[in-house]
Amino acid sequence: MARIVAGIATSHVPAVGHAVDSGRTEDDYWKPMFQGYEFSKQWVKDNPADVDIIVYNDHASYFGMDIMPTFGIGTAGKYDICDEGYGPRPVPVVMGHPALSTHIAASLILDDFDMTVLNKLDVDHGLTVPMSLMYGQPDAWPTRVIPFPVNVVMYPQPSGERCLAIGKAIRDAVANFDEDITVRVWGTGGMSHQIQGARAGLINLPWDLQFMDDLINQPEVLQYKPHLEYMIEAGSEGVELIMWLIMRGALGDNVNEVYRFNHVPASNTSVGHLILTPKD
Ligand code: DHB
Ligand code: FE
């Protein structure tokens, strides 16, 4: 049977992707942030998995005002790279796992989650920046990937309860996949940041640290945090953090904290990163 072996959470700041792509990770500004990911790069090498389910949001790069799925799942064999702003990053294409993703899609739909099934999907910095942080700059990514886009950019976003519940349903689906493979689930985005309007540049590190504690220790309480609190306390884009609840739900009731890192600021954003493993 397939098994979920770890959860990874990380911010996905586009300027971080640009620093990687333009060889600036050793610059004075960037070095302390990238150093915080050195442990993780080694850890994912030492604890390899076959498949990464990456929960992320598209930033109106592939989706937009015409189509905005609340929850989507990629079922393709391969995903091309796209992006807003400077355009697609120079990173390898992302290879999928059609058998596992179609199995999860069917399982979630039969569990009453109305998934958008994406046989074609291009992926933006929400997915590619976390991959660069964990895997560096390989010629080909080391794992198969199942992109799991969530709408966090357009009202109404899914509730925290729904996010935690769909994470649990992903856990059940993976456990019922009849192949002996290992899977990690990633939650990306956040932490506090606002990139527009009068409060642009807002960062709230104490709130971010409390969010991490709650995510680890009491996700069943955290799931009731209203979207408005994310926006007031963590900025208009801080609501991306609801995606971390999906990762947490996929790990089961109790987790081990393998690694935690925070860095402020990266561009306009508070960077947060966690590696968790399920505790049976
Ligand atoms: C920025 C964009 C993002 O999608 C994000 O998660 C953080 C920061 C930005 O444009 O700075
Ligand atoms: Fe984002």
Distance CA 48, CA 149 (A): 23
Q: Which of 59, 97, 103, 193 is catalytic?
A: 193
Which of the listed residues 11, 16, 196, 237 should we mutate to test ligand 1's pocket, taking the one with most ligand atoms within 8 A of CB? 237
Which of the listed residues 12, 13, 129, 240 should we mutate to test ligand 1's pocket, taking the one with most ligand atoms within 8 A of CB? 13
Q: Tell me the mean pLDDT in the region 27-43.
A: 98
Nearest CA to ligand 1 atom 1: 13
Q: Give the distance between the most distant pair of CA atoms in the chain.
A: 52
List of residues 6+ apart from 155 with CB closer than 8 A: none
Which of the listed residues 193, 244, 270 should we mutate to test ligand 1's pocket, taking the one with most ligand atoms within 8 A of CB? 193
Q: What is the number of structural domains in the chain?
A: 1
The alpha carbon of 187 and the centre of ligand 2 are apart by a number of angstroms equal to: 12
Going by pLDDT thresholds of 50, 70 and 90, the confidence category of residue 214 is very high
Which ligand 1 atom is at minimum distance from the Cα of 57?
A: 4
Q: What is the CATH number of the domain that holds 270?
A: 3.40.830.10
Instruction: Encode pLDDT of 84-106 as tens digits.
Output: 988 999 999 999 999 999 999 99
Phi-psi region of 60 (alpha: psi -120 to 50; beta: other; left: phi over 0): left
Contact 110, 67 (CB under 8 A): no
Contact 269, 13 (CB under 8 A): yes
The alpha carbon of 39 and the centre of ligand 2 are apart by a number of angstroms equal to: 23
78-81 and 94-95 beta bridge pairing: antiparallel
CA distances from 59 to 65, 81, 263 (A): 11, 13, 23
DSSP assignment string, 117-160: EESS-EE-HHHHHHHHHHH-S-SS-SSEEEEEEB--SSSSPPPH
Nearest CA to ligand 1 atom 5: 13
The alpha carbon of 202 and the centre of ligand 2 are apart by a number of angstroms equal to: 14
Phi-psi region of 255 (alpha: psi -120 to 50; beta: other; left: phi over 0): beta
Nearest CA to ligand 1 atom 7: 13
Which domain range does residue 61 map to? 3-278
The alpha carbon of 193 and the centre of ligand 2 are apart by a number of angstroms equal to: 9
Q: Tell me the mean pLDDT in the region 54-76.
A: 98
Residue 280 has pLDDT above 80, yes or no: no
Instruction: Encode pLDDT of 240-270 as tens digits.
Output: 999 999 999 999 999 999 999 999 999 999 9
List of residues 6+ apart from 28 with CB closer than 8 A: none
Which residues surround ligand 1 with Cβ inside 6 Å? 12-15, 59, 189, 193, 195, 237, 240, 267-269
CA distances from 66 to 69, 256, 280 (A): 10, 41, 43
Nearest CA to ligand 1 atom 8: 13
Tell me how far the alpha carbon of residue 264 is from its chain's centroid.
19
SS3 category, 269: strand
Reported pTM: 0.98
Contact 234, 207 (CB under 8 A): yes
What is the identity of the amino acid at 236? S
Nearest CA to ligand 1 atom 3: 13
193 is known as an active-site residue? yes
Phi-psi region of 235 (alpha: psi -120 to 50; beta: other; left: phi over 0): left
Phi-psi region of 185 (alpha: psi -120 to 50; beta: other; left: phi over 0): beta
Ligand nearest to the CA of 83: 1
Residue 159, both tokens: 């509730």
Nearest CA to ligand 1 atom 4: 13
DSSP class of residue 71 equals: B
Q: Which residue, chain included where needed, has tokens 């989706």?
A: 63
Residue 133 has pLDDT above 80, yes or no: yes
Handedness of CA 135, 263, 167, 214 (dihedral sign): positive
Task: Report the pLDDT value the prediction gives residue 255, as an integer from 0 to 100.
Answer: 98
